[in-house]
């Protein structure tokens, strides 16, 4: 078992809040059919991990900013961590509200440093299902081979970087499209929920996110007349310890 100094304290009274922002209908963009399925599966998965789930649909830019700003100012003293999942249209480093785009950094900034003291030193986990550009990934052929091939920390006041303890997991890499099925939901959220269902109470989060990457990269594809489209998720981690969702 890993030393306690390498594992986040997940023994608070509450697991924490999981916010789901699900933008389906937009003023000028196409409707995101299938996103309701994503929301339902995410609610089920994070509830099973003992989060208090709150869902918000069709949020304008200012509503998204205000919602997360308010969440950052809430008292999370008795919580292990905070989760936010955003399901929407996107481009490069922006996410769309129903009336236009907002920078991802503007949504994350309220949780940094002294602005959100009760989450300082705790995991702040953001999962973003959205396109990050208009490029599509045609994939590459690969020649595959099949085969087998407890410490006590000193109690002290210390300073950590304001950017520490974040994980931002994107459905796709910068510049590329993210695929969504109108009936089954998005590839990325399907994979995330599958991994959380199978391993959410046993594996650490980064190991699970790597498995999500593998699942999307290997198990999903969109076939067109001439080409086959693929997708590669992207993990940006500033976590400083392992995250486990062991049952309380």
Q: CATH no. for residue 102? A: 3.40.50.1460
**186 domain residue, yes or no:** yes
List, for residues 87-124, the tens digit of each pLDDT value: 999 999 999 999 999 999 999 999 997 778 899 999 99
Which residues are annotated as catalytic? 89, 131
Give SS3 for 164. coil
What predicted TM-score, i.e. pTM, was given to this entire model? 0.89
**192 domain residue, yes or no:** yes
Total number of domains constituting the chain: 1
**245 domain residue, yes or no:** no
Range of the domain at 36: 4-237
List, for residues 143-188, the tens digit of each pLDDT value: 444 444 444 444 444 444 557 899 999 999 999 999 999 999 999 9
Residue 189's Cα: distance from chain center in Å?
9
């Amino acid at each position: 078992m890993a030393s306690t100094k390498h594992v986040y304290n997940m023994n608070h009274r509450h697991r924490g809040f999981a916010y789901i922002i699900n933008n389906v209908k937009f003023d000028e963009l196409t409707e995101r059919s299938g996103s309701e399925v994503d929301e339902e599966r995410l609610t089920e998965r994070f509830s099973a991990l003992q989060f208090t789930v709150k869902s918000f649909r069709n949020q304008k830019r200012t509503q998204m900013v205000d919602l997360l700003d308010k969440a950052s100012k809430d008292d999370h003293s008795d919580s292990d961590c905070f989760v936010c999942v955003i399901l929407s249209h996107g481009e490069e480093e922006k996410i769309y509200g129903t009336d236009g785009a907002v920078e991802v950094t503007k949504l994350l900034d309220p949780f940094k440093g002294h602005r959100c003291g009760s989450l300082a030193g705790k995991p702040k986990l953001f999962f973003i299902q959205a396109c990050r550009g208009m490029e599509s990934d045609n994939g590459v052929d690969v020649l595959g081979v099949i085969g087998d091939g407890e410490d006590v920390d000193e109690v002290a006041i210390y300073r950590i970087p304001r950017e520490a303890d974040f994980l931002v997991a994107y459905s796709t890499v910068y510049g590329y499209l993210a695929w969504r099925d109108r009936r089954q939901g998005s590839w990325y959220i399907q994979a995330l929920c599958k991994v959380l269902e199978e391993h959410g109470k046993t594996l650490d989060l980064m190991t699970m996110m790597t498995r999500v990457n593998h699942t999307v990269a290997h198990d999903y594809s969109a076939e067109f007349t001439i080409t086959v489209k693929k997708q590669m998720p992207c993990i940006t981690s500033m976590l400083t310890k392992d995250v486990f969702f062991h049952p309380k």
